[in-house]
A and B are shown apart, each in its own frame.
Chain A
Amino acid sequence: MDQSAAKPNTAETVSPIRQYLLSRGNSALADKFFHALMVLCALSIFAIVALIAWQLVSNSQLTWHKFGFGFFYKTFVSPVTGDKLYWDPVNEQFSALPFVYGTLVSSFLSLLIAVPLGVGLAIFLTEMSPRVLRGPLAFLTELLAAIPSVIYGLWAVFVLVPLLRQYVNPVLVTTLGWTGLFSDDNPTGLGFFAGGVILSIMILPIISSLTREVMTAVPHSQREAVLALGATRWEMIRTGVLRNARIGIVGAIILGLGRALGETMAVTMVIGNTPEIHKSLLANGSSMASVIANEFTEAVSDVHRTALIEIGLALFIVTIIVNALAQLLVWAVTRGTPSRAN
């Protein structure tokens, strides 16, 4: 009774702890300031995306006004020779068509190689592999995902391209030459095919590690239920795992596609760098990223430079859409499960 009555308003009865806390002052202001600072840091990510978009749009106005949307599909005819012409810095005629074509061809070629292998690797790692192998293989894929593009390019120039030139391309020409996709007129070994192969090696780790993550997120009860019904292992994987994880696997593949679309250095080093469109996969070509890397510092005029920036803008928009889509698909499956499960 006495104590409770004396508690408020009398300085003598305030406990030493309470006194100490009061003497330190209020930290509400500091807390608010800290919170605001962290929000600012987080908002910088929005700011960066906006800044990139604004810079690319404002710096590509010249080309946009001159060629409009036709920049991405029109072709020109050379006034001198009468040949088809796409990219003519001297006469300031620009069309991004061959680069769009090169990017699409090399990316889809890389998916064609990397998807079956990547998904197969993921199936092996999650469903079949002995536990001992899992760690080292996961480590290896993680490592290879981190190796810089330029080093893959270096390896491709000195190992992959000579290999393709000597052993692979002649076989492709003799066996599949009738399709018209492999013609024997480029002795260098460079070209769309070399670009697609090095891209597939580069996106394999991404596709397989994400697929693995998505497959690990499928609950064990699903597998057990299917096995209990008498399914073989493959039937269990097909109906119990792949069917549940398919959205996430599609997301992983699209994410791989996003990487392939924007991959620059390795492709620049092996694709041949000519602004041309060929049906043959063994012919030289160019991709959107490679033409920027190759020509930007040597751009002869403002139109040339803004044309390259507009290609960069297109690349930016496409990769943002592709990545957003992939991210949503992967999240749809892995949401609620820890992301670093091995």
Chain B
Amino acid sequence: MRGESLKSKIRTITDHAVTVLAVLATVLVVTPLVVIFGYLVFKGASSLNLAFFTEIPKPEGEIGGGMANSIVGSGVLLGLSSLIGVPLGIGGGIFLAEFGRGTALANAIRFTADVLNGVPSIVMGLAAYALIVSPHVSFLPFLGHFSAFSGGVALGIMMIPTVCRTTEEMLLMVPHAVREAALGLGVPNWRSVLSITLKTASPGIITGCMLAFARVAGETAPLLFTALGNSFMSTSLNQPIEALPLQIYVYALSPYDDQHRLAWAGALVLILLIVVAVSLVRYVTSRGVLKGAS
């Protein structure tokens, strides 16, 4: 009897100890995360001003200037990468959800997409360098030198797996009855997929694309030796171009306080983009796909 009660006491104590440990782990994780986030917002907000959006960088050591060229550059790079990543990704997602459901090919593609998603971004940069920057073919444009084009390709490739998997997930949430209704009215399959299923799932797919967009917006490693960086305003695809994360990287390691300030401001801009994308995705997925379609 006595032994048993001791045993049950030990069991209760262990139970409480584990609860305390789990709460402790939560506190230990959440505190630094909140602190990091709060610090970034605070530092960024106190560094942001109008000049950040309108001026290009001042020469080293001078106070002031902004990141207008980086913002424009990021815009150019992201536009190009979306042109590559969004159609291919959505197409792949349509295949996975509408045509290949349960087939070996679809499973293999889904698996490869997930694995590709885990390949380090710097490897993407190396591949884009080897593919576009290093070969010298004089009659082809964009080849043989650092360019916005090569950076955009590297980012575009990175968008494909994310867009593909979100599209699939969103299309799978569309009820079968919707497809059957369309087919029952005599609508051809391609038309049914494009203007019924895809349209029904479009809020989810658009936010999924936004999330992929926000992710690659912060990628630095694949741009280091493709887009390279440029301290002047440039929109040419054939020239090196500046991007926000590249500029943050350079300024974070520079010895000047004012460049640190600009780095924090740039970080805040990127974070706001991500907060918007992540909350939109959560909002859409929690509401369900169908309700958003009307």
Q: For the complex, would chain B's binding face be called helix, strand, loop or mixed by DSSP majority?
A: helix
Q: Are A117 and B25 in contact, CB atoms less than 8 angstroms apart? A: yes
Q: Are B26 and A124 in contact, CB atoms less than 8 angstroms apart? A: yes
C-alpha gap A339/B172 in the complex (Å): 11
Q: Decide yes or no whether B120 CB sits under 8 A from chain A.
A: yes
CB contacts (< 8 Å) of B191 on chain A: these are 27
Q: Are B23 and A151 in contact, CB atoms less than 8 angstroms apart? A: no
Are A147 and B15 CB-contacts (below 8 A) given A320-B115, A323-B118?
no
Q: Of A44, A147, A320, which is in contact with the most chain B CB atoms at under 10 Å from its CB?
A: A147
C-alpha gap A119/B21 in the complex (Å): 11
The one of B106, B115, B278, B285 in contact with A146, judged by C-beta atoms closer than 8 angstroms, is: B278
C-alpha gap A326/B119 in the complex (Å): 13
Q: Are B36 and A264 in contact, CB atoms less than 8 angstroms apart? A: no
CB contacts (< 8 Å) of A255 on chain B: these are 118
Kindly report which residue of chain B lies nearest to residue A205, judged by CB atoms: B33
Q: Are A265 and B220 in contact, CB atoms less than 8 angstroms apart? A: yes
Q: Decide yes or no whether B32 CB sits under 8 A from chain A.
A: yes
Q: Decide yes or no whether A52 CB sits under 8 A from chain B.
A: yes
The one of A44, A137, A151, A205 in contact with B40, judged by C-beta atoms closer than 8 angstroms, is: A151
Interface residues on B, range: 35 or more
The one of A208, A232, A264 in contact with B120, judged by C-beta atoms closer than 8 angstroms, is: A264
Interface residues on A, range: 35 or more
Q: Decide yes or no whether A11 CB sits under 8 A from chain B.
A: no
CB contacts (< 8 Å) of B277 on chain A: these are 146
Q: Decide yes or no whether B114 CB sits under 8 A from chain A.
A: yes
Q: List B246-289 residues whose CB lies under 8 Å from chain A.
A: 248-249, 252-253, 260, 263-264, 267, 270-271, 274-275, 277-279, 282, 285
B residues with a Cβ closer than 8 A to A are: 11-12, 14-15, 18-19, 21-26, 28-30, 32-34, 36-37, 39-40, 87-92, 94-96, 98-100, 105-106, 108-109, 111-124, 126-127, 129-131, 134, 157, 160-161, 164, 169, 186, 188-191, 193-194, 211, 214-215, 217-221, 224-225, 228, 245, 248-249, 252-253, 260, 263-264, 267, 270-271, 274-275, 277-279, 282, 285
Pull 21 A–B residue pairs with CB atoms less than 8 Å apart, ordered by A: A27-B188, A40-B91, A41-B88, A41-B91, A42-B96, A42-B164, A48-B157, A56-B127, A56-B130, A59-B134, A123-B25, A124-B22, A124-B23, A137-B30, A140-B34, A148-B270, A151-B271, A154-B252, A265-B249, A292-B126, A327-B114
